[in-house]
């Protein structure tokens, strides 16, 4: 018997677990939940502009709607086959474990939208409308797994650029009184007032970029089917 092979005896039956099988189980039940839980934590994290204090934002209801639509796309495209993840043929423990992974995937998806959507003001509704338009069209399109992942990556990339590179550069610093800020940065103060944009530290963008990449990596590692 090969080195590292594990033998498990269940109800007088001997089950041989090969090393490759052990690695697959480790990725499925340890790595994937950790990835999605990390994304869930980081997606709502912001850093204060002055003292870099931790700020955790609750996702708006619209993010839950977007996440539900994305989960439907996962099932329609074959990225996840629900009949393989949750079935009567599996034990209760397996179904509960697989269901827990799907729950962490859903919460991570909610927080990714929370991360990429502006917190308030006109930009929130503009980018939210873009998400609605894209997801609505995708729900009625034929997708395979590769096309779906490319579509999500492109949508997330555009939203990230719009929020953390374009809109963030339109926000002026909050140092000094309002009259001093208007004199020094009249354009940024005008955009900040018109768009109602909050001010955060630059570290926020780095953390959210890491969360988005981690989320896409978790999708890549997620198996479409769960074997017996």
Cα–Cα–Cα angle for 55, 197, 114, nearest 5°?
Answer: 50
**Within a domain: 34:** yes
Q: Is 215 among the domain residues?
A: yes
Q: What percent of the chain has pLDDT over 90?
A: 29
Q: Tell me, what's the pLDDT at 188? A: 59
Does residue 193 lie in a domain region? no
Per-residue pLDDT tens for 94-124?
888 888 999 999 999 999 999 999 888 788 8
22 occurs within a structural domain:
yes
| CB half-sphere exposure, 54, CA atoms < 13 A | 6
User: Is there a domain that residue 123 lies in?
Assistant: yes
Distance CA 37, CA 78 (A): 23
> Within a domain: residue 194?
no
40 lies in a domain?
yes
- Give per-residue pLDDT as tens, 183-222: 455 555 665 656 667 778 888 889 999 999 999 899 888 8
At 66-81, the pLDDT tens digits run: 999 999 999 888 888 8
Give domain status of residue 227, yes or no. Answer: no
- What is the residue range of 119's domain? 6-188+199-221
Q: Helix (H, G, I), strand (E, B), or coil: what is residue 176? A: coil
- The separation between CA 89 and the C-alpha centre of its own chain, rounded to angstroms, equals 30
Q: Taking a C-beta distance cutoff of 8 angstroms, is the pair 144, 78 a contact?
A: yes
Domains identified in the chain, total number = 1
């Amino acid at each position: 018997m090969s080195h590292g092979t594990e033998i498990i005896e269940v109800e007088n039956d001997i089950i041989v677990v090969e090393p490759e099988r052990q690695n697959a189980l480790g990725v499925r039940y340890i790595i994937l939940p950790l990835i999605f839980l990390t994304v869930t934590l980081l997606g709502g994290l912001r850093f204060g502009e002055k003292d870099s204090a931790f700020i955790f934002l609750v996702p708006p209801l619209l993010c839950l709607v977007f996440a539900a639509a994305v989960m439907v796309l996962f099932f329609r495209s074959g990225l996840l086959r629900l009949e393989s993840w949750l079935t009567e043929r599996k034990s209760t423990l397996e179904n509960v474990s697989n269901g827990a992974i799907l729950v962490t995937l859903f919460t991570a998806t909610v927080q990714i939208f929370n991360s990429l959507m502006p917190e308030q003001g006109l930009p929130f509704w503009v980018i939210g409308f873009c998400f609605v338009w894209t997801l609505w069209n995708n729900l009625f399109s034929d997708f395979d797994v590769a096309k779906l992942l490319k579509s999500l990556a492109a949508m997330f990339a555009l939203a990230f650029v719009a929020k953390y590179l374009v809109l963030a550069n339109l926000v002026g610093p909050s140092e000094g009184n309002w009259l001093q800020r208007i004199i020094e940065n009249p354009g940024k103060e005008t955009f900040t007032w018109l768009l109602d944009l909050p001010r955060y530290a630059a570290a926020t963008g780095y953390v959210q970029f890491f969360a988005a990449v981690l989320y896409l990596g978790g999708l890549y590692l997620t198996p479409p089917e769960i074997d017996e």
